[in-house]
Amino acid sequence: MSKQINVALIGNPNTGKTSVFNALTGLNQKVGNYPGITVEKKEGVCKLPRGVKAHIIDLPGTYSLNASSLDENVVIELLLNKTDKDFPDIAVVVSDVENLKRNLLLFTQIKDLEIPTLLVINMADRMHYKGISLDIDYLEKHLKTKIALISTRKKLGIEDLKNLISHYKDLPVTPCLHASEIDKAYFDSLRKAFPNQLLYKLWLVITQDVNFGKTDRNEIEAVANFKTKSKTDLKRLQQKETIKRYQFINNVLKQGQTIDASQAKDLRTKLDRVLTHKVWGYLIFFVILLTIFQAIYDWSSVPMDFIDTAFASLSEWAKSQLPNGAFTNLLAEGIIPGLGGIVIFIPQIAFLFLFISVLEESGYMSRVVFLMDRVMRRFGLSGKSVVPLISGTACAIPAIMATRNIESWKERLITILVTPFTTCSARLPVYLIIISLVIPDGRFFGLGYQALTLMLLYLIGFGAAVFSAYLLNKILKIKSRTFFVVEMPNYKLPLLKNVALTVVEKTKSFVYGAGKIILAISIILWFLASYGPGDNFNNAENIIKTEYASQNITDDELQQKIASHKLEHSFIGLTGRSIEPAIRPLGYDWKIGIAIVSSFAAREVFVGTLATIYSVGSDDEATIKNRMAAEVNPILGGPLFTFASGISLLLFYAFAMQCMSTLAIVKRETNSWKWPLLQLGIMSSFAYIIALIAFQILK
Element (H, E) at 444: strand 443-444
Q: How far out from the chain centre does Cα 398 lie?
A: 4
Q: For residue 441, how many other CB atoms are within 10 A of its CB? A: 8
Q: Binding site for Mg(2+), residues?
A: 22-23, 25-26
Do the beta carbons of residue 617 and residue 624 sit within 8 Å?
no
| Rounded distance between C-alpha atoms, residue 522 and residue 340, angstroms | 11
Residue ranges of the binding site: 11-18, 22-23, 25-26, 36-40, 58-61, 122-125
- Which H/E stretch holds residue 629? helix 624-630
* Sign of the dihedral through C-alpha 230, 485, 108, 38: positive
Contacts of residue 493, defined as CB under 8 A and 6 or more positions apart, other chains included, come to: 153, 362
Amino acid at 140: E
- Please count the CA atoms within 13 angstroms of the CA of 491 that sit on its side-chain side: 11
What's CA 537's distance to the chain center, in Å?
45
Which helix (H) or strand (E) segment holds residue 548: the answer is none
Residues annotated in a binding site for GTP: 11-18, 36-40, 58-61, 122-125
With vertex at residue 80, the alpha carbon angle to CA 78 and CA 83, rounded to the nearest 5 degrees, is 75
213: left (phi over 0), alpha (psi -120 to 50) or beta: left
- Best CA proximity match to 371, nearest among 383, 387, 384, 389: 383
Find, among 501, 503, 671, the residue nearest to 20 by Cα.
Answer: 501
Q: How far is CA 570 from the centre of its chain?
A: 39
Q: Are strands 40-47 and 29-33 parallel, antiparallel or unpaired?
A: antiparallel
* Exposed e or buried b per residue across 51-87, where buried means at least 16 C-beta atoms within 10 angstroms of its C-beta: ebebbbbbbbbbbbbbbebbbbbbbbbbbbeeeeebe
The DSSP result for 43-73, as a single string, is EEEEE-GGG-EEEEEEPPP-S-SS--SHHHH
383: three-class secondary structure by DSSP = helix
CB-neighbour burial class of residue 315 (10 A; exposed 0-12, middle 13-18, buried 19+):
buried
Q: Which of 361, 364, 392, 388 is nearest to 376 (CA)?
A: 388
In 3-state terms, what secondary structure has residue 583?
helix
Please list the residues that pair with 94 across neighbouring strands.
Answer: 11, 120
Phi, psi of 460 (to 5 degrees): -60, -45
| Beta-sheet strands, E only, within 97-232 | 117-122, 132-134, 147-149
- Which of the 8 DSSP states describes residue 333? I
Nearest to 342 by CA among 517, 503, 596, 505: 517
Which of 510, 612, 526, 507 is closest to 570 using CA atoms?
A: 526
Cα distances (Å, whole numbers) of residue 494 to 19, 350, 438, 488, 598: 10, 17, 37, 16, 39
C-alpha–C-alpha distance, residues 48 and 167, integer Å: 10
Q: Which three-class secondary structure state does DSSP give residue 291?
A: helix
